Amino acid sequence: MSGLKDKKKQRKEFEEIALVHIDSLYRTALYMTKDEQEAEDLTQETYLKAYRFFANFEPRTNCKAWLFKILQNNHLNRCRNKSKVSFLEEFNEINPYCFQLIQEEESNPEKNFFKNLSSKHIRRAIEDLPEEWRLTVILADIEDYSYKEIAEVTKFPIGTVMSKLHRGRNLLRKKLLKYVKEEKLIKE
């Protein structure tokens, strides 16, 4: 009987600390796969694997970062099997963190063009980022991860995360400005 109670206790604990992140995991899976069905499958695989290995989870560590690492590894394994790598899905709604990518003074023309940006511009700019900076930017500016959480997911030192994020944001800023100029949303 105690084995059954332990299983119930483990299931309840898993539901309390892991399932609360399902929306965030699914949203990131959409960004990674660009396909709703694949994102659902990837999220489900992630939770199945997490539940299977939940006994190995360290209770005082960051469950969200642990789940995202499993998600990232599952995605990379799928990509290896399919020989394709993609990380983003279309946004239906612009996440407010995207607007934090450029925090300039009101007088700066860069800030003014944000008013004319659509989710299409932002999605395209993020998709066009080199892979080495894309995930860091997504985790920081869309998923609102701290440097420490990003370091846990990517296994990079915090200094490397900060550097990749700085470089990724600068590239994103340049790409957004280029797209806006191409569509003549601001004057050059």
The pLDDT of residue 14 is above 80? yes
The closest of 167, 163, 129 to 147, measured between CA atoms, is: 163
Query: pLDDT tens digits for 94-123?
Result: 344 444 443 433 445 555 555 556 677 777
Contact indicator for 39, 30 with CB cutoff of 8 Å:
yes
Res. 168 pLDDT band, cuts 50 70 90? very high
Task: Check residue 107 and give its pLDDT.
Answer: 45
> Which helix (DSSP H) or strand (DSSP E) does residue 135 occupy?
helix 131-137
- What's the predicted TM-score (pTM) here? 0.54
What domains are defined for the chain? Answer: 2-82 (1.10.1740.10), 96-182 (1.10.10.10)
pLDDT digits (tens, 9 = 90+) for 77-92: 887 666 433 333 333 3
pLDDT at 186: 58
- Please give the pLDDT value at position 11: 85
pLDDT category at 65 given cuts 50, 70, 90 is: confident
Residue 155's closest CA among 74, 83, 70, 82? 70
Are 153 and 72 within 8 A, CB to CB? yes
Integer Cα distance of 147 and 184 in angstroms: 35
